[in-house]
Amino acid sequence: MTEQHHVDYLLGLGDDALIYAQRLGEWLTHAPQIEEDMALGNVALDLVGQARALLTHAGEVEGADPVRDEDDLAMLRHEREFRNVQLVEQPRGDFAHEMARLLWFSTYQRELYTAVLTSTDETLAGVAAKAVKEVDYHRDHATQWVLRLGDGTQESHDRMQAALVAVHPYVAELGEDHDAARWAAEHRVGVLPSSLTDAVNAYVVGVLEQATLAMPDAPRWHARGGRAGVHSEVMGYLLAEMQHLHRSHPGASW
Amino acid sequence: MYGNDFGQPGATDSRAGAPPHPLNAAETPDYTDALAEYFDGLIEQDQRVEPRDAMPEAYRTTLIRQMAQHAHSEIIGMQPEANWITRAPSLRRKAILMAKVQDEAGHGLYLYSAAETLGVDRSELLDKLHSGRQKYSSIFNYPTLTWADAGAIGWLVDGAAIMNQVPLCRCSYGPYARAMIRVCKEESFHQRQGFEILWVLARGTKEQKAMAQDAANRWWWPALQMFGPPDTGEHASTGHTAQSMAWGIKRFSNDDLRQKFVDMTVPQAQKLGITLPDPDLAWNEERGHWDFGAIDWDEFWRVLKGDGPCNEQRIRTRVEAHDEGAWVREAADAYAAKQAARHEQGAVA
Amino acid sequence: MTSGTWPLWEVFVRAKRGLSHVHAGSLHAPDREMALRNARDLYTRRQEGVSIWVVASEDITASSPDERDSFFDPAADKVYRHPTFYDVPEDVEYL
């Protein structure tokens, strides 16, 4: 019997990776130095790889007839069916915004993948074993840049601080529990997002301190609902761009 | 260009800056007869010239110009393909395209690195690109209008580039030759993935087939122009070719390479079921080569001089990225200086 | 300071265990930590390496072409340094 919570849990992880890869892909040809085009390209490629493995597995667990493959899930689901957090769908900002987002997201992903290394879902554990090394590098990359921007020039410090404030309303959602995660934690398939929060915060606090940056105050509002398919208005445009070619040619192979 | 060097009629290139440090110092202020004899001997014996060898100033400037144009082509060449990353029709294609665009960035960096062994700074070369004083391959001034264009670029543009680049692996200048070996190894993946895109489209729906054919129609002639002006006749280039061949920078003439490319590509097009847009294309039994129609060199020069559909856009995008990144690069410099100072203080204390 | 003039670093890559690091090329980076990371992304995308060194280009002293004759030619006539210089009977093993 299909356990919808299991599918939803995997979709949440896969969609985070997919949608963030989509945003990072926009950086290629726009990075501050050609070496950084290479670096952001690597991060995006790692995330596409994670998304493909996770979506493929979600389709298998779902067991629809016929089974939905990675492209069915990426290209043919509607906005309300995407289970990513809102952080990853936000439009590309300046380089400081990207490093703020990458620092939070990669730190979260690192704690997450570390925790699911022992998942009873062996496929997920396998994905995590590979991904944990990748996101460790992403976190390092973000850390290096946050240090340089925070402790660089006055302008870069101000931009980095402003970026942290701008990104902050989207951070709490990473640690919010939801039904699929509660099921996953109970069945030792996954973990409760809230169980990762302390470790994530501790790492980011350490980086910000070293970078002479301040952790922003608690925001007045914060994003919520991504895991239940509730997104920000930008998501529709992101999907329109990502899906239009595939959807324009129903049933075609690529 | 794109591994091919020629100048616009009347174009001159100012001499590159003085070499800043010993590893890459290549300037030869007093190019004596004895040094010339040594250099000529290297070329004659098909030996490689290395960064600190004495070399004729014209050899050095020719190489800097060619490597810079080649590097610029890789960097600008990222744009038409990056245009499809967010819209790639499958996740597999998205990953391949990202990896490919990233490779182009890498190739640009290998080539800038090779150019820098001649004592010129990359930022100086980028300035020349941004201000239009150095060119890049004109092929990238055409737009990628459909997904099939990603395939056509891989198949035709990278195919033509490889034709140009393989001989450069034996270029007389060591760092350039070594960079090209690395590039060529990676480039063959690019050509194959492009062919594969078109292969799938050509076997797909009616719309997909039409998309593939349309892309081939638009990219075929610009791809032939990539080999540069003809060797002879009224459209011939201003004549770097003979000197470059004598120096072992260039190994085959433009027309020879173009013919090789046509001979290689026509059977591939037949295999794909794509019709190349040239009614004069015919096998010539006597020559043992494919004959092809006249190339529109007026269009070539027009696009090269700036009047192509995307010239302005490509440079604007590049300059914007560079300018918007200035504060980031400055921040990293400032941080490095602070760290160095802290280090020194720590050492004293 | 002008932007875009990060210093140049030379990159050396060990392709696999048991081999020396070999010069792969150069790149720009603001400092040694970033140089190492950029080298990883640029020169080992296809598993070309298991270890990387980066050295600031300006810290390398290279032998000069002017000294070519005095540096390297004197070795040319010392053929006795090479094993093939010696005549030994063909049927002696492990030699």
Q: Best residue in B122, B130, B318, B324 to probe C by mutation, most C CBs within 10 Å?
A: B122
Residue bearing the bigger pLDDT, C47 or A72: A72
Q: What is the pLDDT of residue C4?
A: 53
**Nearest to B126, CA basis, from C33, C45, A35, A96:** A35
- Residue B126 is classified by DSSP as H
Q: In this structure, are residues B156 and B278 in contact, taking their beta carbons and an 8 Å threshold?
A: no
Q: What is the pLDDT of residue A172?
A: 97
Q: Where are the domains of chain C?
A: 8-63
Chain C residue numbers with beta carbons less than 8 Å from the beta carbon of B339 are 31
Q: How confident is the model at residue B15 (pLDDT cuts 50, 70, 90)?
A: very low
Inform me whether the pLDDT recorded for B71 exceeds 80: yes
Collect all residues with Cβ–Cβ distance below 8 Å to B293 and sequence separation of at least 6. Answer: B278, B279, B280, B281
Residue B41, chain A, CB below 8 Å: the answer is no
List, in sequence order, every beta strand (DSSP E) within chain A. Answer: none
Residue bearing the bigger pLDDT, C93 or B109: B109
Query: What is the C-alpha to C-alpha distance for residues C89 and A134, in angstroms, rounded to an integer?
Result: 58
Q: How confident is the model at residue B22 (pLDDT cuts 50, 70, 90)?
A: low
Query: What is the C-alpha to C-alpha distance for residues A76 and A60, in angstroms, rounded to an integer?
Result: 16
**Nearest to B253, CA basis, from B234, B227, B225, B220:** B227
Cα angle for residues A35, B76, B305 (degrees, 5° grid): 145
Residue B109, chain A, CB below 8 Å: the answer is yes
* pLDDT tens digits along B239-269: 677 888 899 998 899 999 999 999 999 999 9
Q: What is the average per-residue pLDDT within C78-88?
A: 81
**Neighbour subunits, B (≥3 Cβ pairs < 8 A):** A, C
B253 is written with which tokens? 């003439």
Between chains, do B102 and A149 touch, taking CB under 8 Å as contact?
Answer: no
Q: What is the average per-residue pLDDT within B263-282?
A: 97
For helices B158-168 and B174-202, angle between their N-to-C axes, nearest 10 degrees: 160
Inform me whether the pLDDT recorded for A57 exceeds 70: yes
B44-72 burial by CB neighbour count: b if 16+ within 10 A, else e? eeeebbebbbbbbeebbbbbbbbbbbbbb
Between chains, do B333 and C3 touch, taking CB under 8 Å as contact?
Answer: yes
Query: Which B residues in the span 237-296 are in contact with C, Cβ-Cβ below 8 Å?
Result: none
Helices and strands, number each (H, E), in chain C: 2, 3
> Which 3 state secondary structure label does DSSP give B327?
helix
> Which 3 state secondary structure label does DSSP give C14?
strand
Mean pLDDT for chain B overall: 90
Inform me whether the pLDDT recorded for B7 exceeds 70: no
* pLDDT tens digits along B317-342: 999 999 999 999 999 999 999 999 99
Q: Best residue in A29, A37, A52 to probe B by mutation, most B CBs within 10 Å?
A: A29
CATH no. of A4-248: 1.20.1260.10
Q: Which CATH architecture has domain C8-63?
A: Roll (3.10)
Inform me whether the pLDDT recorded for B26 exceeds 70: no
- Residue C2 is classified by DSSP as -
Q: How confident is the model at residue B10 (pLDDT cuts 50, 70, 90)?
A: very low
Q: Where are the domains of chain A?
A: 4-248
**Nearest to A132, CA basis, from A115, A117, A107, A113:** A113
Q: Where are the alpha helices (DSSP H) in C1-95?
A: 32-43, 68-72
Lowest mean pLDDT among A66-75, A163-172, B178-187: B178-187
Inform me whether the pLDDT recorded for B124 exceeds 60: yes
* pLDDT tens digits along A8-20: 999 999 999 999 9
Query: What is the C-alpha to C-alpha distance for residues A131 and A133, in angstroms, rounded to an integer?
Result: 5
Q: What is the pLDDT of residue B16?
A: 42
Residue B108, chain A, CB below 8 Å: the answer is yes
Between chains, do C30 and B335 touch, taking CB under 8 Å as contact?
Answer: yes
Residue C60, chain B, CB below 8 Å: the answer is yes
Q: What is the average per-residue pLDDT within B181-207?
A: 94
Q: In this structure, are residues C11 and B179 in contact, taking their beta carbons and an 8 Å threshold?
A: no
Inform me whether the pLDDT recorded for C3 exceeds 60: no
Inform me whether the pLDDT recorded for B198 exceeds 70: yes
Between chains, do C41 and A35 touch, taking CB under 8 Å as contact?
Answer: yes
B229 is written with which tokens? 């002006």
Percent residues over pLDDT 90 in chain A: 99
Inform me whether the pLDDT recorded for A90 exceeds 60: yes
Residue A12: C-alpha distances to residues A88, B257, C64 (Å): 12, 52, 60
Largest CA distance in chain C: 71
Name the residue type at position A224. Answer: R
Residue B200, chain A, CB below 8 Å: the answer is yes
Query: What is the C-alpha to C-alpha distance for residues C91 and C95, in angstroms, rounded to an integer?
Result: 10
> Which 3 state secondary structure label does DSSP give C53?
strand
Chain A residue numbers with beta carbons less than 8 Å from the beta carbon of B332 are 148, 152
- Sequence length of chain B is 349
Residue C34, chain B, CB below 8 Å: the answer is yes
* pLDDT tens digits along B223-238: 999 999 998 888 887 6
Residue B341, chain A, CB below 8 Å: the answer is no
* pLDDT tens digits along B75-118: 999 999 999 999 999 999 999 999 999 999 999 999 999 999 99
Chain B residue numbers with beta carbons less than 8 Å from the beta carbon of A242 are 86-87
Q: Where are the alpha helices (DSSP H) in A116-192?
A: 122-150, 154-167, 179-186
List, in sequence order, every beta strand (DSSP E) within A48-134. Answer: none
Query: Between chain A and chain B, how many beta carbons pairs sit less than 8 Å apart?
Result: 141
